A and B are shown apart, each in its own frame.
Chain A
Amino acid sequence: KNQVEQSPQSLIILEGKNCTLQCNYTVSPFSNLRWYKQDTGRGPVSLTIMTFSENTKSNGRYTATLDADTKQSSLHITASQLSDSASYICVVSARTNTGKLIFGQGTTLQVKP
């Protein structure tokens, strides 16, 4: 069964600190992995997209890694800011005609001053 699991479910950190969010998946055949940021009351916004051949991608203070062999990904946030408080969703796309997306349940991050 195609699944995407994220950990931790929630996380509280102090402003300025770094953190790492984890994503494990069992989607096959694999096409690409995305990380989205979802602010409260808003739609998800794409942070990074990685294909099978990419093992790291950065977007400002966000760095995503992908290990296609172990089917794991991480999202590292550097020097956190209050505006990083959001839900972070890992999404894996299957290599099918429809490009079906399988969504994780998300990690809720709270950054405190």
Chain B
Amino acid sequence: DAGITQSPRHKVTETGTPVTLRCHQTENHRYMYWYRQDPGHGLRLIHYSYGVKDTDKGEVSDGYSVSRSKTEDFLLTLESATSSQTSVYFCAISDGHSYEQYFGPGTRLTVT
């Protein structure tokens, strides 16, 4: 998985609770991305980062926030989890020079 780890790998939480997912990379890549994957949909971009403290919204950003205080870490926060946010979340990284995006192993989040 190209030096990308995600934590936790599985989480069950209750509606209304805050949740933070972590993506950690050892590749020193500039770009980092958060996607969600749901049945019947392709992967959809939530937020991305193009450098430390530089982030922007993707197509499904409502209800999510992100932070990147170090090159190697990109955090995804659900301020108040809802059942519609039950999904598998993938982090990806890119160096911005090639077309490659490398994906992490994913985090399965269940909101009850």
CB pair A105–B105 under 8 Å, yes or no, is no
* Chain B residue at smallest Cβ distance from A49: B99
Select the stretch in B12-20, B41-49, B78-86 that faces chain A. Answer: B41-49
The residue from A4, A43, A104 contacting B105, defined by CB atoms under 8 A apart: A43
Q: Does A93 contact B (CB under 8 A)?
A: yes
Cα-based distance from A100 to B57 in the complex (angstroms): 12
> Which has the most chain A C-beta neighbours within 10 Å: B41, B90, B92, B103?
B103
B: number of interface residues (CB 8 Å):
20
Contact string against A for B residues 22-57, beta-carbon threshold 8 Å, 1 for contact and 0 otherwise: 000000000000000000111111001000000010
CA separation between A89 and B37, bound complex, in Å?
Answer: 12
Query: Are A93 and B42 interface neighbours, CB within 8 A?
Result: no
Q: Are the C-beta atoms of B99 and A106 separated by less than 8 Å?
A: no
Partner of B42, one of A43, A51, A104: A104
Q: Select from chain B the residue with minimum beta-carbon distance to A106.
A: B42
Say whether B101 faces chain A, with CB atoms less than 8 Å apart: yes
Which residues from 74 to 99 on chain A have a C-beta closer than 8 Å to any C-beta of chain B?
89, 91, 93, 98-99
Please give 4 more A-B residue pairs, beta carbons under 8 A apart, in addition to A49-B100, A51-B99, A99-B99: A42-B106, A46-B102, A103-B42, A105-B41
